[in-house]
Structure 1
Amino acid sequence: MPNRNTDPLFQLVKSLEKSEKRNFKLYATRNSSGEELKSIQLFDALDKMNEYDEDLLLRKNPAIKKQQISNMKAHLYRQILSSLRLLNNTDNIDILLHEQMDYARILYNKGLYLQSLKVLDRIKESA
């Protein structure tokens, strides 16, 4: 069990502002399946804790099994980062440029070279 308050997911959840938490829940429920709902349960449980205690977390949430907790935490961490990226992509030019670069790379890999070049030209103009 990680030391109290040193769990990266717990630190990330505790660092979120109220609007970011709301945005994450909307993001997670929009893309939800049965497993995703467990992620939201895990998120809520971590948000309510003052100190990270994995044993207490498992006792209070019987739907979350000890064998699953590691994978669920890693998945939740990535989900939170994805929702933050979507929330902040208009505020940060670096994130916006990287997103456009990703699109250009995808188009290039699909063999759509002219479309990829157009995206790269737009990136060059805005940079």
Structure 2
Amino acid sequence: MRLIRGWFAIPLWQRVVGGLLLGIALGLFRPEAAGAIRLVGELFVRLIKMLVVPVVLVTIAGGIATLGDPRRLGSIGLRTVGLFAVTTLVAVSIGMAMGLALLWQSRGTGGIVVDSGGMKMLTGTMRDGCEG
């Protein structure tokens, strides 16, 4: 019980950063061990995906329910949609930049395909690698 209390006494952000650093170290120094912990990572990502939509839906519904004046919903809704559009634009820009950086790095080597097992260098074009 003391071990559990001690673990939860550490702030969440420190536990997350510690896990991230531990994962990076494990990947650099013991890459063959990645297969053994892959299931834990996949379960974590699936759990996050499963929880995000209901949490966002309940948060929005709760916010609308506590809104006293229905006329204010229009201005708040407009700001919400605008913020969503801006954050989506930023996310797409980062994704495109990373994709272009990978493509640029693979110039002359044939291309890179990223899958759940990591990066693989392929011969042919990037399109050939994604289709095959």
- TM-score class, shorter: under 0.3
Flag the structure with higher strand content: 2
Q: Which structure is larger by alpha-carbon Rg, 1 or 2?
A: 2
User: TM-score of the superposition, structure 1-length normalised?
Assistant: 0.27
